[in-house]
Each structure stands twice: as structure tokens, then as C-alpha cells.
Structure 1
Amino acid sequence: MTHIRWRIVLLLFIAGFINYLDRSALSVAAPAVAQELHLAPARMGLVFSTFFLGYAAFNFIGGWAADRWGGKRVFSGAILMWSLLCGATGFATGFGSLLAIRTLFGMAEGPLAATINKLVNNWFPHRESATAFGFANCGLPLGGAVAGPVVALLTQAYGWRIAFAGVACFGLIWLAFWQVMATDKPYQHPRVSGDERLLIESDRSVSENPADVQRLAFYLKQPAIIAAMISYFGYSYILFFFLTWFPSFLTMDRHLSLKSMSLATVLPWLLGFIGYGLSGVLSDLVFRRTGNAFLARKWVLIVCLGLAGVCVALAGTVTTTANALLLMAIAVFALYLSGSTYWALIQDTVPNAKLGSVGGCVHSIANCAGIIGPAVTGFLVQQSHTFFSAFVLAGGIALASVIAVAILLRPRAAARHKSNEASIAG
């Protein structure tokens, strides 16, 4: 039997790889960019943060658009625009132009996660959804791993401006394959078998009856969605701290060369790739063992995000580069091991008709960490001339979000959700 749904996941995996290759390019090239454009750490922090200003705004807008016009169409427009804007980064002439390009670049990348969640929900039965989302998104950290050596080598050989033009081409090539091979829903695809379509449509997480669909505000007030927002904020704070400032930490604080830094960052990203690939499998495995979706998501979040927070805080206290790298590698692995759980919580709670909007809203709130974190880190580094407080703050925010999950995802809420599942099945 041909499983077209897994081919869709493969395409999404490649898109995620390209997304983080493009997104990480500035972090890797930052020392060269800052030197040529005369940008101090505080200004560089603002450049990193302004990406997330546009990104967070279009997390919700992209999710809402996917509900209205379909995930495939929105995703196609997003990758076209972010690829062009990635290339346009090479034309920046100073702080102002770089700030404007990065804001637009963030807006273009904003729809990514919500549209992937929407497409996975369209194409997969509930019992496979977290696994599929994990596989689709494990391309993200792999792109981050490859970005280090690729962008560093291009920058050293041809300069950072040419490096941005080079990595921008990958997205445009991917888009041609996506247009030919993908559809928004299974019934639109000419090669989906009747058995595969029946498997997908017969196993939904919540009722898809239009009469049962509530207004957006109803879902945003659910404890599971609030827990997803808060914990995803903690996740995002660590992720974007690592994505934006960890390469600079290795060059500024640990005095690694651009080449050594680019190679050193590969290990955490590779472990993140493995972690994200396993995250959905772990979440769905615990779900199948317990028979309780909320309980499974809760404990995966608490254990994995908690471990990531502890390791990041400790990474700021160690004296050797090797120990800092090891702790950050463990942190990134644990972080990404929880990666599918936030979106699984949303799929466990929200019908498909509102999935893009709710997912986009959750992602938008979470990515406020990207607006705040890099700017705060730049300020702390410039004032203290050390990264110690930035590491401790990132770990502390993640641990605080773990406490929120423990409080919000109570057994009573899980039991109520389980009874809802039973009534839907009946």
C-alpha cells in the first residue's frame, strides 16, 4: 500500500531543514556581519529580536490564514517569501536596513509551525499525529546543525553576503517539488488509496461536526491550551537563546574561531535532530500505554523541559568550553524531545476547523520569548561583560514554565478530556 501521508511528512521535514538553515545563517555569520556593519552586542541583540517581532505576529496570522485558505497555499507563499528575504539579507548596508529585512523575514517564516500542524492534522489519524509532527519537524535542528559549517565555509570563502544568497536557493528549489507532489487534504490527492483515506478520517482527536466547533476564545481559555502557551514560551526562550547567542558566546566568551565555533555547534543541533525525531514517538507511546493523552503530554513536558532548564542554567556556571558544550547539547536534546508535545496538546483539544488559529495564537505567545530574550541577552552581556546571568535566566524561565504545566494539567482536566473522547467515540 502506498502511504502518501508519509511522503507529505518527508516534504515537510525538508522544508523545516531549509527553514532553520536560513534562520540560523545570521547567527553563524553574526561576527562577520557585526564587524562590517559596526554593530555592538546590544544592537546585534535588537537585530536578532526584531526577527521574532514579525515572526510572532505572523504565527497567528499564518494559522488563521491556513484555516481559511488551506495549509498548502499558505505554506507555499511563506517559503517563497522567506527564501527571497533570506537572500535579501546580503544587501543590508547598516543597522536600519538589516533591522527591516529581518522583521520581514520573520513575518515570512511566521506561518511555518501552525501550517505544519494543520497539514499533519489533515493527513494523519490521531494515534499517529505526534509521531508525524515529530518527524516533520526534526528537520529544523538538522538545518541548524548544517548551517554552522555551510554558512561559515561560504562566509570565509566568498563573504557573508554571498552566503545568504546561496542558502536562499534551497527554498525555491523545494517549492517546485511541493507544488507538484502535495495537496492540502488527502481526498484531493490522486494517489491516496481508499484504505489510507479511511484510516485518516476515522480517527480524529475531537469532533469535526461543525455544530460542535466553538469560538476561538473558548479554546484559548482551556487549561491545556494555557499550559501549552506557557510551556512553549519556556521552550522558545531556551531555543532562541541557543539559536541567536550561543555561537557568539563561543567566539566572544570562549574565544573560538569562526570555523571552530561552527563545528562546535553541530553536536547540539544533531542531538536536537534525534530528540525531535523521537519526541512524537515518545509522546504517542506514553499515550498508548496510559490511554490518557493529557497525562502523556504532561509528563513528557515536565521531565524533558525541566531537564533542559537545569542544563542551560548549569552551562553558564562551568569554566571549560567542553563542559558548556556538553551541557548545552544535553539541553537541546531534552528540549527537542518535548518538541511535539505542545502541538499534540493542541490537537488533543481543538477541532481541525480552529486548529490553525489556536495553534498560531499559541505559537505567537510562545515566540514573544524571541522578541524579549535576544534583546535582554544582548543588554546583559554588554552591561556585565559575561554570559553567566543570561544562561541562568534562560534556565529559570524554562523551570518556571514546568511548574505552570504541573499546576494547569491536573488529573481532573485529563479525566474530563478522556470522557469527552469516549463520548465522541460512542
Structure 2
Amino acid sequence: MTKTMVNEQPPRIDFRQARWSRVGVPLFVTYFICFMDRTNISVASPHLAEELQLSAAAMGVVFSAFFWGYVLSGMPAGAWANRGHAKTIIVVCMVIIGLAAGLTGVVHNYPVLLAARVVLGLAEGAIFPAFAVMFISWFPSRERGLAVALTMYTVPLSAAVMAPLSGWLIDLANWRAMFIIQAIPAILVAVWLHFAVTERPEDNPRLSEDERDYIIATRTVETADESTLLQVFARPTVWLLALVYFFWAMGIYALTLWLPTVIGDLTGEGSLMVGLLTAIPFLCGTVAMYVVTKTAVTTGRSLGYFIAPCIGLSGTAMLAQHFIDLGVAFSFAMLVLSAGSIYAALALWWTWVMQIVPRNQAGASVGFVNLCGNFGGLVGPLLIGLVATEGNTASGFWIVGVGILVAAAIVMVVDARRTRSQALEQSL
């Protein structure tokens, strides 16, 4: 049995299969648009702050306002999606995302800006739980991690595309036009999903009978039943994983939302050049994610062996950027290293979490860990805005870096304990 497991080939994406071409690709595009509309405010923030006369602390509140809504909608949306409404949730939320993103382009005061960001967060917070239901419905158990990993690629990739595109639109027109133009794809995607995707493979008339039967026969293999929240809260490991993701997400969103402002402070360049420079760290993150994910799959080592060094390197680079003054080029190189390494193991994260928690607690455990990560997204951007000094927005990144190093240390401890436990079981 052991030999068979070692020689078993990992699943691959085959776009000739309908589940990948008709569900995997649309969900990838959907999440790409979500992250673009979530983070394009980062490039517009200097112009927005100047016109509305907002301080760095006020912009930190604007960045975090998205997560006020995000943390509220996830669990109710997951419950509603489980009742057979996942596709409806995604379609409706994409329309709301388009409207809220467009509203950001016409705001003229601080309260309306905050309201637009909260509504955007409410809509996007419902998307991923609905995605999870679609993944379970449409993909065999052994392919589900690959489907989630494909979706995770949108996180750095959307930022890499969004930054130069947003900068170009701002230079071509203005920041208001940028928000309105980039809001349109969300509504177009909603229309596409409505007509192209079905809730379940059983409802899709264009799916071949062989593929439909294969999906239905294999999608419940090793799928865990839900557990109570009390059972989840009683497990110390779940709390450690939640703490890791809190610090990790704090760093991800602090970098994603503040990086264009930091690069603008360092270089003094215009929106287009800042956008092009901002794309570099996220492109590095996309490449690093691919390399680390592929290496982890082929080596057979524990995923924690790859996760800890990646996020640890990001935290170290943040500290170096703050405490070592070797000029603009060095600071930019550390920002590239920070962003590139913080995304490198993101596609491995949820697979590792689901390997650690008991199968009968997987659903509730993942939901709780994700919720804590969302709170990290709320705290990170706000913290940078509160501690930033005039003309040096990056001055607060060292605090986030310390948190990420703590996360790396926790991953090492959890992974070491898990490795010892597995070795003990094999020796018995």
C-alpha cells in the first residue's frame, strides 16, 4: 500500500474536462476580478487622500473598512450556500461588487467612502464560502486542493495586473474613472456565470455522462462531516493555526494595500511608473507560488517544511527594510522579497491545514482559521496607517514583520510535533 501511495501521480489540471473549463476557469476569473476591485484602491490612495484630505491614519481605516464587512458575511453565506444557493450567491455578490466598486469612483466624502468599502467587503466575504461549496460539488476529492490552489494564484497575479493597469488609467483619466472602469468586469462576470455555470454537475446538460458519473462517484471520498464550534475551539492546534493565519494575512494585506504608497514615497514617480514598479513584487510572488507548490508536491516533504521558511523570509525582509538603510534600491529589493515570499506558500496553506485538523472537524476548523485571517486583514492595513510617519509609510512594516516571524515559528513547532507524531505511529 505504501508503495502505491508513493508512486501515485498527483492530480493535474486538464482543461479538456468540463469541470475545469466550465467551472474552474470561471471561478478563477471571478476571484481575479474580486481581488482587483478589492486592492485597486491601493494605487489610487495618494490621489484619493489628497482630494478628500485624508491622513495616513484615515486611509488605514479606509483600507480596513473592507474587512469590517468581510468578516460578517462569510459564515451566513456559507450556511446559505450549503442549501443549494452557491451560484446565486456568487452572481448576486459580483453585481454588488461592481456597484460598490463603481460607487468608490464617485464619492466626495469620508463616510460614503467607508460605506462603499464595507459593502464591497460584505459582498466579497460571501464569495469564498460559496466557492467552497462549488468545489465540493464539482471536483473529485483528490482534485479539490488543486482547484483551491488555482484560485489562490489570483491573489498575487491580480495585484500584478491591477497595479500598472490602474496607474495607467489614473494617468490617462483620473482615479475616479479608474474605479468606474474596473467595476464593469464584475458585472459582466456575473452575467457570464449566470448563463454558463450550474450549481451542480447533475444540472449541467452539456456535461458528458461519463464525467458527470465520475464526479458524483468521487466527490465525497474523504469529505468530512461538519462538527460543532465547541469541538473546534477545544483543539489547541486550531488556535495555533488561526494565530498563524492572523499574522500572515496581516502582512499580506498590509503589503497589498500600502505597497504603491510606499513605492511612491521611495521613488517620487507618477501613477503609471508606481504601478509598474508595484507589479514586480506581485509577479515575483506568483512565480514563487508556482515554484514552491510544484517543489512541495514532487519532494513529498511535509508542507510545513515549505511554509515556515517562506513566511519567515518575508518577515525578515520587512525588518531589514526598516532597520538597514542602504538606499532606495535596497529598500525596494526588500519590498520585492517581502511580497514575493509572503505569497510563495499560500497555495499550500489550506491543504496543510486540512491535513492537520481531524476530518470530522475540517469544515468548522477551516472556517474559524479563515475568519481569524480576515481579522488580520483588518488589523494590518490599519496598523500601518496609525504608525506611519510623514513621507515614510513603510515605517510601520517592521511591526508586521515581527508578527510574520512569530507565525513562521508557530508553523515550525506545529510541523515538528506532527512529524514526530507520524514517525511514532509508523514505528508502532
Q: TM-score, normalised by structure 2?
A: 0.85
- Relative distance call for 1:187 and 1:414 in structure 2 (3 A) is farther
In the alignment, is the contact (CA less than 8 A) between 1:272 and 1:333 conserved in 2?
yes
* Worse overlay, 335-344 or 94-103: 335-344
Give the Cα–Cα distance (whole angstroms) in 1 for the partners of residues 134 and 45 of structure 2.
34
* Worse overlay, 361-370 or 338-347: 338-347
**Aligned twin of 1:263:** 276
Give 3-state SS (helix, strand or coil) of 1:273's partner.
helix
Can you list the C-alpha shifts for 1:245-285, whole angstroms capped at 9, x where unaligned?
A: 11111223442322221110111111222334455544544
Give the Cα–Cα distance (whole angstroms) in 2 for the partners of residues 301 and 393 of structure 1.
20
**Aligned twin of 1:403:** 409
- Relative distance call for 1:340 and 1:185 in structure 2 (3 A) is farther
Indicate which of 196, 207, 222 corresponds to 1:206.
222
- Relative distance call for 1:164 and 1:378 in structure 2 (3 A) is same
Identity across aligned pairs (percent)? 23
Give 3-state SS (helix, strand or coil) of 1:184's partner.
coil
**Aligned twin of 1:175:** 190
**Aligned twin of 2:257:** 244
**Aligned twin of 2:24:** 9
Give the Cα–Cα distance (whole angstroms) in 2 for the partners of residues 353 and 182 of structure 1.
30
Shift of the alpha carbon at 1:98?
Answer: 0.8
Residue identity opposite 1:4 in structure 2:
A
How do 1:16-415 residues align onto structure 2 when only pairs under 5 Å count?
A: 16-190=31-205, 191-195=207-211, 197-198=213-214, 201-202=217-218, 206-208=222-224, 213-223=226-236, 225-278=238-291, 280-286=293-299, 289=300, 296-316=302-322, 317-348=324-355, 349=357, 355=363, 358-382=365-389, 386-387=392-393, 389-409=395-415, 410-411=417-418, 415=422
Shift of the alpha carbon at 1:385?
Answer: 5.6
- Relative distance call for 1:417 and 1:110 in structure 2 (3 A) is farther
Give 3-state SS (helix, strand or coil) of 1:214's partner.
coil
- Relative distance call for 1:217 and 1:200 in structure 2 (3 A) is farther
**Aligned twin of 2:4:** none
- Relative distance call for 1:131 and 1:262 in structure 2 (3 A) is same
Give 3-state SS (helix, strand or coil) of 2:388's partner.
helix
Shift of the alpha carbon at 1:233?
Answer: 1.5
Shift of the alpha carbon at 1:81?
Answer: 1.1
Give the Cα–Cα distance (whole angstroms) in 2 for the partners of residues 240 and 229 of structure 1.
16
Give the Cα–Cα distance (whole angstroms) in 2 for the partners of residues 120 and 282 of structure 1.
24
- Relative distance call for 1:216 and 1:284 in structure 2 (3 A) is farther
Give the Cα–Cα distance (whole angstroms) in 2 for the partners of residues 337 and 417 of structure 1.
30
Give the Cα–Cα distance (whole angstroms) in 2 for the partners of residues 54 and 413 of structure 1.
41
Shift of the alpha carbon at 1:313?
Answer: 2.1
In the alignment, is the contact (CA less than 8 A) between 1:131 and 1:280 conserved in 2?
no
Give the Cα–Cα distance (whole angstroms) in 2 for the partners of residues 325 and 126 of structure 1.
41
Give the Cα–Cα distance (whole angstroms) in 2 for the partners of residues 192 and 216 of structure 1.
39
Give the Cα–Cα distance (whole angstroms) in 1 for the partners of residues 138 and 358 of structure 2.
16
**Over aligned residues, Cα RMSD in angstroms?**
2.9
Give the Cα–Cα distance (whole angstroms) in 2 for the partners of residues 246 and 149 of structure 1.
13
Aligned length: 407
Instruction: Give the unaligned 5+ runs of structure 2.
Output: 1-13
Give the Cα–Cα distance (whole angstroms) in 2 for the partners of residues 417 and 184 of structure 1.
44
* Worse overlay, 364-373 or 179-188: 179-188
Residue identity opposite 1:218 in structure 2:
Q
**Aligned twin of 1:293:** none
Instruction: Give the unaligned 5+ runs of structure 1.
Output: 291-295, 420-426
- Relative distance call for 1:358 and 1:26 in structure 2 (3 A) is same
In the alignment, is the contact (CA less than 8 A) between 2:265 and 2:392 conserved in 1?
no
Give the Cα–Cα distance (whole angstroms) in 2 for the partners of residues 240 and 379 of structure 1.
15
Residue identity opposite 2:73 in structure 1:
F
In the alignment, is the contact (CA less than 8 A) between 2:167 and 2:273 conserved in 1?
no
Can you list the C-alpha shifts for 1:361-398, whole angstroms capped at 9, x where unaligned?
A: 3222112122222222112114x763454121111111
In the alignment, is the contact (CA less than 8 A) between 1:62 and 1:360 conserved in 2?
no
- Relative distance call for 1:169 and 1:213 in structure 2 (3 A) is closer
Q: TM-score, normalised by structure 1?
A: 0.85
Can you list the C-alpha shifts for 1:42-88, whole angstroms capped at 9, x where unaligned?
A: 11111111112112222333333333444322222222211110001
In the alignment, is the contact (CA less than 8 A) between 1:72 and 1:184 conserved in 2?
yes
Residue identity opposite 1:95 in structure 2:
Y
- Relative distance call for 1:325 and 1:15 in structure 2 (3 A) is farther
- Relative distance call for 1:44 and 1:206 in structure 2 (3 A) is same
In the alignment, is the contact (CA less than 8 A) between 1:134 and 1:278 conserved in 2?
no
Give the Cα–Cα distance (whole angstroms) in 2 for the partners of residues 104 and 139 of structure 1.
22
Shift of the alpha carbon at 1:334?
Answer: 2.2
Give the Cα–Cα distance (whole angstroms) in 1 for the partners of residues 73 and 298 of structure 2.
32
Residue identity opposite 2:388 in structure 1:
V
In the alignment, is the contact (CA less than 8 A) between 2:232 and 2:361 conserved in 1?
no
In the alignment, is the contact (CA less than 8 A) between 2:74 and 2:125 conserved in 1?
yes
- Relative distance call for 1:267 and 1:388 in structure 2 (3 A) is closer
Give 3-state SS (helix, strand or coil) of 2:70's partner.
helix
Residue identity opposite 1:380 in structure 2:
V
Give 3-state SS (helix, strand or coil) of 1:39's partner.
coil
